[in-house]
Amino acid sequence: MNIVAGSENGSEAFVFLDNDYLNENNKGLDTVIGVNESKSDIGEFKLYNIASAENYGVHAIDINVVGKGFRIFTFTFG
């Protein structure tokens, strides 16, 4: 999953797939895995790869953003 987003002041996007933290198998290229977290640091306005499901199917993704000035323009899948 990709998002086109950015933040004028810098934001953190905490990402969950199917109500769970991402892991090494499903994290995006722009997502960092930590202890009890999976997040993307959002700064400049660009395309961010935030998740990659291991299997095609129905999934739920949650993005919880911390920080002011965050804007998201589009999601892309595939």
Q: Which pTM value belongs to this model?
A: 0.91
CB of 11 closer than 8 Å to CB of 71: no
Supply the pLDDT for residue 54.
Answer: 75
3-class SS letters over 38-58: EEEEECCCEEEECECCCCCCC
Confidence check: pLDDT of 11 > 90? yes
Tens digits of per-residue pLDDT, 34-72?
A: 999 999 999 999 999 999 877 788 889 999 999 999 999
